[in-house]
A and B are shown apart, each in its own frame.
Chain A
Amino acid sequence: MSDLEQLAEDIVFEHEGDRAVALSETTLREDFEKVAALATVVVSRPCSPPKTLRTRLAYDALRFCAGTTETAPTRPAVATLQASATSSAPRPTKSLLAFLLGAAAASFATWMALTPPAEPSVARLRAQTIAGDKDVYIKWQPGPSPMSGEVTGDVVWRQEHQDGWLTFRALPVLPEDKAYQLWIRDRGRGGDLVDGGVFRIESATDETLVTIDPALNVGDPDAFVVTVEDRAGAVVSKQEHVVAIASL
């Protein structure tokens, strides 16, 4: 058997655990690998992926688009969160999947109230929190939904007080029958998504300040996600319209 034949055979059966492709001229090998890849496309039998997989892929995609697979959070967060922040897209917890699949354990009782914009006390608290080193401060990244616009802003979360604020600019004003909804992923609950409540944006041009006031205790948040839902909010999000994500 010639080297060429051996190489071809090795590439076809390379998935057999005990077979190694012999060292060969790189171009030749790449050529065969490309042909094998093309043949694989032709003979492939596409299947409908399960919802769990779609969720995992969407989560990775969000992290990639948010730049968190390559870059550190804009600002240091709680030490424990920093310690577990990874540089690669992790497998989402089963709880996150459950949320996205319709089995979120989070309470829907928590609602967020729109507060008057830029109250001095809130502004001062936000500034103090951002300047501190014990809490969470993350900038929003647009989600994959076309509704995300050019959203900017940030999340400020005070772990000890169990509250915080969201700011948004350029988040589109939704139709009357729609609303935004915040979800907080809590590693302290094994990765459960806690419903952060629903809110509306009245102006896409002005900065909107939203107060986070969850009814459930959030032990160890590591991601904040905003979706578009029906006006009353959703117990279960289909994750069809993720407009913003802030992830550690």
Chain B
Amino acid sequence: MQSLLPKIATGDPNAVEDFLKRHTGMVWGLARRFCRNAEDAEDATQEIFVDVWRSAARYDANAGSEVTFLMTIARRRLIDRARRLGRRISADLLEDPTTIPSPSTTDEVELHDEVARAQDALAKLRPEQREVLDLALGQGQTHHEIAASIGIPLGTVKSHARRGLIKLREMLGADPAPAEPAKPAVDQAHPNEGSRGGSA
């Protein structure tokens, strides 16, 4: 899929319109899960797209796909907001009409080769690693929330998270991580975070 970002950088209104059609659902879905309420999520989504318009000229197709560029900005914005405004309260998400799935947007996203490779790589992770990354990256849950929701110790959650991300990085073609000695899944540096174990 050809990126719209070079045209957006020139202020091409059709490219901007197509970009919004292509990606708004995904960004909104993410913001809605990271933010405390719908209004906050709207503000965040607006900030993200304004940032994209202003940053479009910096896009380098050799460095990654359009959607990766967008999601890098989206994550950065959401992280900044979380620090600035505090954590979200998202207990009402399931009943929230603003979180109605938008499957057509998923289809668009899946057209990117890079995303397809990431999808394959994610599927090859251990289920518990995949689940932790899903909850942290896709849902915006903290490691405390993840530990509570799936019933594993905090240290195990963090272990799954870091090993899952490192494994993903290896599978996606980045330089492999240096070999490290095998170690227990629970960090010795955090003995108070639980010791029920769990494998990585």
Contact = CB atoms under 8 A, between A and B. Distances in A.
Interface string B126-139: 00000011101110
Interface stretch (A143-151, A167-175, A178-186): A143-151
Q: Is the interface of B mostly helix, strand, loop or mixed?
A: helix
B16 A49 contact: no
Interface string B24-67: 11101110111000100011011001100110000000001001
Of A16, A42, A58, most B-chain CB atoms within 10 Å: A42
Interface in A103-151: 142-146, 148
B16 A88 contact: no
B199 to A, nearest CB: 15
A223 B25 CA distance: 28
B68 A4 contact: no
B200 to A, nearest CB: 10
Q: Is the interface of A mostly helix, strand, loop or mixed?
A: helix
A146 B16 CA distance: 12
B188 to A, nearest CB: 8
B102 A32 contact: no
A43 interface: yes
Interface of B: 11-14, 16-17, 20, 24-26, 28-30, 32-34, 38, 42-43, 45-46, 49-50, 53-54, 64, 67-68, 71-72, 74-75, 78-79, 82-83, 86-87, 98-103, 105-106, 109, 112, 114-115, 118-119, 122, 132-134, 136-138, 140, 142-143, 158, 161-166, 168-169, 172, 174-175, 177-178, 180, 187, 189
